[in-house]
Amino acid sequence: MHFREERARELERMAKLLEKTFGADVATTPIYTAIKELKNENSIPVLKTGTINQNVWGYDIEDFEIPLDTLKHVKPSSIDKGKVILNLKVRGDVNTWGYMNDPFLELNFNVDIKGIGDKVYHFGFHIDRHDLTLPHAEPHPVYHIQYNVNPSNSKTFDYGEIMFIDTPRLLHFPLDFILGIGFLTSNFFPAAFGCLCDEREFVKLNNQYQEIIWKPYYHTIANHWKPFEQGAITWSPTSDLCPILL
């Protein structure tokens, strides 16, 4: 219970900070509802599999809204007001928190963006923890971002109501032509990616280029937390995090 109390207190600190910064522009009720749920010792979050485990902790944030203040980066240009709506589900195991392992068991970070101009427009994306036990055609990095423009999953959704908004500036590892082939095929031509991975030459080339291009990139990021705790890492395999890491 102490663990969940601590996480609740941290969420509360963030809520207070938002109230101080945004005032009436941001409603913090969704955060306080999550805090109350976290503090409720009778409420253990259920995992997607239906599993209930005393070590599982988590919270849901429903419809937390912030104003969309970057309207000049939005098309069509008639859109003059907008908001960003977050729906978030976090589930973790208290025993992996703070260790060099996957911090979460489940994560859905769902963002919907709504704009109003000559009509109502939508855009959205999610950052999810993919359940790697599920069958999938394309290789899925365990944590990935993906567009989701139809917020209510409506069959009759009018795709003319999608707004164009500059993507968040997500950091991305560098790609040259050789590494780019793995990136492109794994996302857009997965069958070919599978065939390429069976080719010794493809794997060797990728190993060589990943060593030269990605290793300095990721080691530099990892070097932010000193000392680099190589021996403590228990999160594996690395291909779950990045399926094109060969």
Partner 1 sequence: MSKPKYLYIDDENDSSITSIINGFNDQGIIEVEHFPLSAFQEFGKLKNELIQRRKNNAFDGLIIDLRLDGDGPDRVDFNATSITQELRSLTARGDINSFPIILCSTEPKIRETYDADKSSHDLFDYKFEKSNEPNFPKFSQKVFSLVSGYNWLNSSKRPLNEIFGRDDLSSLDPRILERFLEAEAKIVIYDFAHFAVKNLFHNPNPLIKEKIVAARLGVDIEASGAYWPALLGDVFSSAKYKGLFSEGWSRWWADGIINIFKRLTDKKLSFLTSEERVALLIEKTKINGLVAAKPLPFCKSTEFWTICEGYKKPLDPLEGFRTYSSYEPKPWQESKYLSLDAVLERVGREKGLRPHPSELKRIETIKQSLS
The residues that touch partner 1, with contacts defined as CB under 8 A, are: 19, 24, 27-29, 32-33, 35-36, 40, 63, 81-83, 85, 112, 114, 116-120, 151-152, 154
Nearer to partner 1, 33 or 96 (CB): 33
Nearest to 90, CA basis, from 58, 126, 131, 54: 58
Q: How far is the CB of 116 from partner 1 (least distance, A)?
A: 5
Nearer to partner 1, 35 or 179 (CB): 35
- Alpha-carbon distance of 239 to 46, in angstroms, equals 28
Nearer to partner 1, 60 or 240 (CB): 60
Q: How far is the CB of 119 from partner 1 (least distance, A)?
A: 5
Q: What is the 3-state secondary structure (H, E, C) of the chain?
A: CHHHHHHHHHHHHHHHHHHHHHHHHCCCHHHHHHHHHHHCCCCCCCCCCCCCCCCEEEEEEEEEEEECCCHHHEECCCCCEEEEEEEEEEEEECCCCCCCCCCCCEEEEEEEEEEECCCEEEEEEEEEECCCCCCCCCCCCCEEEEECCCCCCCCCCCHHHECEECCCCCCCCCCCHHHHHHHHHHHHCHHHHHHHHCCHHHHHHHHHHHHHHHHHHHHHHHCCCCCCCHHHCCCCCHHHHCCCCC
Q: How far is the CB of 154 from partner 1 (least distance, A)?
A: 7
Nearer to partner 1, 85 or 142 (CB): 85
Q: How far is the CB of 71 from partner 1 (least distance, A)?
A: 12
Nearer to partner 1, 117 or 141 (CB): 117
Nearer to partner 1, 30 or 182 (CB): 30
Distances (CA, A) of 109 to 59, 87, 130: 12, 6, 12
Nearer to partner 1, 148 or 239 (CB): 148
- Alpha-carbon distance of 175 to 182, in angstroms, equals 10
Structure tokens at 211: 């060593």
Q: How far is the CB of 235 from partner 1 (least distance, A)?
A: 33
